[in-house]
Chain A
Amino acid sequence: MKAFINSVGLQAPGLEGWQDSAAILRGERPYQFQPLSPYSPAFLPANERRRTTDTIRLGLRSAQDTLGAYLGEMPASIPTLFACVDGDTEISAKMTAAILADEPMVSPIHFHNSVHNAPAGYWMIGQKNRAPSSSISVGEYQLANSFVEAITQLSEGWEALLLVMYDLPIDPIIETYQPDMHAFGVGFLLSLNQNEHTLAELNLQVNQQACPSPSPCKWFGANQSAQVLPLLKGLARGEAGEQICALSPALSLRLHWTPIA
């Protein structure tokens, strides 16, 4: 399985924007935690913009940073794949608390924003994009399965595909489970053919070999999306490299990238 990476988006505390983060990823500047700046998805109508949550905004800003310079010259319809392990736990917490009342009053806006595909839905609405969109969750196997789903779908014959992976700390109401992590959102614009924007060629290879669970990432803790940092560092440095990630308890996926000058 092979694809070309034409654009990258990055939205994480201390790594806000792919262009602005490249020097940190190359190791030329030290990483420093800095909360993400406020963001509002200007491409949505005002009434829908107001309804967005932290989860929706992280998905949307990651998608927007990925397409950034491209918006306008992209085909109107490209498939999108949004991957997030936990989904919108802030809204889950509000709804599961609301239903404790004898006569529960769940906010209709919370409810329709609670679907795992709300960020993808808002993105497609904002872009007037009628191509397929999917929203997945694969826990510790998310990075590998997201790339497999993205590139196998791209091979159906689409010109390009947008892959967005984003995870953020879960709502404190689920207080028995609080993984130590910071928010992290990343996006890739992938295509089957090389073009003038291409940054790198990406090859995927499935191996019948278990891959040990990755240790938490130094900057973003147990954030599954942040497991992609080795690839991002390689792209920022313009160096070929590879990363092995778990596809299942028995399979691993080798991501190998080669920069295209």
Chain B
Amino acid sequence: MVTALDITASTLVSALGHGKQAHLAAIQQQRSGLRPQVTDLDTKLSAYFGAVSDLASVQLPEGLAHFDCRNHRLAWAALQADAFQVAVTNAASHYGSHRIGLALGTSTSGILATEEVLAYREAHGRFAENYDYTATHRMNALTDFCASALAITGPRLTISTACSSSAKVFASAARWFAHDLVDAVVVGGVDSLCLTTIHGFNALGLVSRGITRPLDAERDGINIGEAGGFMLLERAKPEQLGVCLMGYGESSDAYHISSPQPEGEGAAEAMRQALARAGIAPSDIDYINLHGTGTPSNDLAESKAIHSVFGEHLPAHSSTKGFTGHTLGAAGITEAVLVELALLNHLLLPNLNLQQVDSALQLNPVKQTQAQALTWALSNSFGFGGNNASLVFALKEKR
């Protein structure tokens, strides 16, 4: 069992908007953020995307200008939303900035900056002068940027395990707490739209022709989204109400680099570990936020994993990828914040864009946003390389 960790601040920017209030409103109105175009990026592909609309106008502060790229604008926007940066500053002045850890996930960091500079070179015959590989594209750039922006100096790392990246950051944070290396940890993840990802997934035949329809009989792939989200974790205090991280599980498929193990055995193992660390039984879970990408093979493998862990009596479950698209390295934190909102507001999150649930899945996803008392929730994130992570969250309320 792990030490329970309070979520003392959180923030999210995605296609649904800036900050948690915008996300709650979208959930209540069952309004998707997916659109058949991106206003500020030529994607060279006709598809639906979960784009954050106003990144072009985001300006980094002067001292951080060399970090400027789409990924860090998205990170900055998320740090400003929900007064998250203020909460971290307060924690740093309370504990000391060296006691605040930073664990962030991303799959592609700021690779768009390199895409753009290569296009610039094609047009102008030389690299743009302001191109800075180490501050934008390099895999640790996101963590360097956020550590500078937040002025925190504890242990740090970027985890890049594809679509499980920003779920695994919770495990690293819990380990730092267990060894008393930190008094607070900023966990999170940021992934932004870029053409390598869009056309890479398209080459694998995993991009949907229309709007993504997770768990539907006619599902045909993902919509790529972008998001930035963060949570501030601290050791659980009895008097602190709200949502706690209670368990995490990590596993590998050892099967294939880009296809899930068909029986979902690795996924099931991650869920079992997370439940075991939380010290609860499968029947205690009130809601599962599925990885639910909307590809035929992922949803099928995950359904088998769910059945093997939860048996016949499944908790309420849904994929929220129909709201945000698949935000890849940011999917873990995106869905952690959505789960936090679900628990705090006692709302089951609906699985959008369903016409007919695939009978092969034997699932009965939540179809409408609905009020329900919730205490325990599980969130799944699975990535290429057969990399699985599951998180268990619980609501603490006044009794």
Contact = CB atoms under 8 A, between A and B. Distances in A.
Nearest to A170: B133
A248 B155 contact: yes
B255 interface: yes
B199 A130 contact: no
Interface of A: 1, 48, 79, 84-87, 92, 95-100, 102-108, 110-118, 120-122, 124-125, 127-139, 141-142, 145, 148-149, 152-153, 155-156, 173-177, 206, 208, 247-251
A132 B251 contact: yes
Contacts of A249: 147, 153
Given A116-B160, A132-B251, A137-B158, A106 B199 contact: yes
B275 to A, nearest CB: 15
A7 B23 CA distance: 49
Nearest to B116: A96
Given A96-B111, A105-B203, A139-B143, 6 more contacts: A92-B196, A112-B204, A124-B386, A133-B250, A135-B385, A155-B178
A223 B201 CA distance: 32
B98 interface: yes
B157 A96 contact: no
A104 B181 contact: no
Interface string B132-174: 1110011110011001000001111111111000001001100
A156 B155 CA distance: 18
A71 to B, nearest CB: 15
Contact of A130 (B131, B133, B252): B252
A251 B98 contact: yes
A117 B250 contact: no
Contacts of B107: 115-116
A250 B160 contact: no
A210 B386 CA distance: 38
Contacts of B181: 148, 152, 206
Interface of B: 44, 97-98, 107, 111, 114-115, 118-119, 122, 127, 131-134, 137-140, 143-144, 147, 153-162, 168, 171-172, 175-176, 178-179, 181, 195-196, 199-205, 250-258, 265-266, 269, 383-387
A153 to B, nearest CB: 6
A250 B97 contact: yes
A118 to B, nearest CB: 6
Contacts of B119: 100
Contact of B179 (A103, A108, A152): A152
Contacts of A206: 155, 181
Nearest to B389: A132
A105 B196 CA distance: 10
A130 B253 contact: yes
Given A99-B195, A121-B386, A116 B161 contact: yes
Contacts of B134: 139, 177
CB-based closest 10 A-B pairs: A121-B385, A111-B200, A132-B250, A116-B160, A137-B139, A152-B175, A250-B153, A99-B195, A112-B258, A139-B140
Given A92-B114, A248-B147, A115 B383 contact: yes
